[in-house]
Amino acid sequence: MEFSQEEFEQYVKNNYPVLFEGDLSGVENLPGNCNFCNREVFLKLYGKRYHNPYSSAFPLFEIFHLECPSCRRKSFIHAIAIYTTIEDENEDERDIVQHYRLFNLPEKEYQNELKDIPEEYELLRNCAREAMFCMAHSKYTSATIMFRRAIQIMAANILGAPKGTLARQLNWLKSNENRLKIDLTEVFHENSHIIKEIGNQGAHPEDEISLQDFTKEEMDLLHDLFQSTISEVFIKPALLKSIQDELKQRRRIK
């Protein structure tokens, strides 16, 4: 069954949101949601390509390469350009182009998000990657469970807490030397506890109806808490040691 260009364009207009209206030649940013942190931002436009897989009679398909200004991760937006004639306030007709977003694609690797987790901890990297993938696709309950699992991997596999429940492992880390021999601050302990509890709510639905689902805003906050635990375990200790070593060398301190 064949369909006309008008039918095709009407289908797009009825089923997909307008990404941008107007000429893209001088545009440097596009409005949208980041596939990773899921924030509504103006995404930096790095490049664009056009192609027409059907015939010259049909609209142009577009691919935009974008970067989120918040988390600095890159993604692609597939869109379609449709030229439309409209009447302005003076009842004069003019042609405009509307760009309809078909779908978003994150880049394959969450490199910017995972760069602070050493490559040797592949289990943690995979878990964090899956949590962020779930966030990007609005699978918030799944994301909470994966963030909780990531905390348990840090506690047991990396910091050396003995087998047991995550609650017992986190309590053990408060009063025992960990495998990395780093000082875990109250920030780590408090944030890990909150992530554990929210992960429990994801795995075991609460009786209170208002707590049975998770919002985008809550996921943004949970993500930030998880990133803070990564900072406490991997970034701050390494930075502190680097500063100490440099000062010792400069001041000839043994």
Q: What is the pLDDT of residues 149-183, one digit of tens each?
A: 999 999 999 999 999 999 999 999 999 999 999 99
Shared domain check, 120 and 235: yes
Which residue, of 106, 141, 161, is where some domain finishes? 106
Contact 61, 80 (CB under 8 A): yes
Q: Let me know: does 113 contact 132? Beta carbons within 8 Å.
A: yes
Orientation of helix 216-230 relative to helix 140-153, angle to 10°? 10
Question: How many domains does the chain divide into?
Answer: 2
Please report the pLDDT score of residue 162 as a whole number: 97
Cα 37 to Cα 75, 89, 132, 191, 237: the distances in Å are: 12, 39, 8, 18, 25
Would you say 148 and 174 are in contact if contact means Cβ atoms under 8 Å apart? Answer: no
Considering only CA atoms, which of 1, 3, 2, 5 is closest in space to residue 57?
A: 5
* Domain around 80: 5-106
Are both 162 and 231 inside the same structural domain?
yes
Domain end among 55, 71, 106: 106
Whether residues 43 and 149 share a domain: the answer is no
Asked whether residue 174 falls in the same domain as residue 128, the answer is yes
Listed residues 50, 84, 106: the one ending a domain: 106
For the sheet with 93-106, list strands across it.
18-21, 93-106, 74-87, 60-67, 40-51, 29-33
129, 100: one domain: no
Task: State whether 202 and 226 are in the same domain.
Answer: yes
Q: Are residues 158 and 84 in the same domain?
A: no
Read off the pLDDT band of 57 (50, 70, 90): low
- How confident is the model at residue 35, as a pLDDT? 67
**pTM (2 d.p.):** 0.59
> In sequence order, what are the residues at sequence separation of 6 or more whose Cβ sits closer than 8 angstroms to the Cβ of residue 102?
16, 61, 78, 79, 80
Q: Does 9 lie in the same domain as 76?
A: yes
| Residue 145 belongs to domain with CATH number | 1.20.120
Range in 14-18, 187-191, 238-242 with the lowest mean pLDDT: 238-242
Domain shared by 147 and 183, yes or no: yes
Element at 52 (helix H, strand E): none
Do 35 and 55 share a domain, yes or no?
yes
Same domain? For 55 and 124 the reply is no
**Long-range contact set of residues 181-189: C-beta below 8 Å, sequence gap at least 24:** 182/233, 182/237, 183/237, 184/159, 184/232, 184/233, 185/232, 187/228, 187/232, 188/228, 188/229, 188/232, 188/233
Same domain, 129 and 186: yes
- What are the pLDDT digits (tens) for 103-124? 776 554 455 567 889 999 999 9
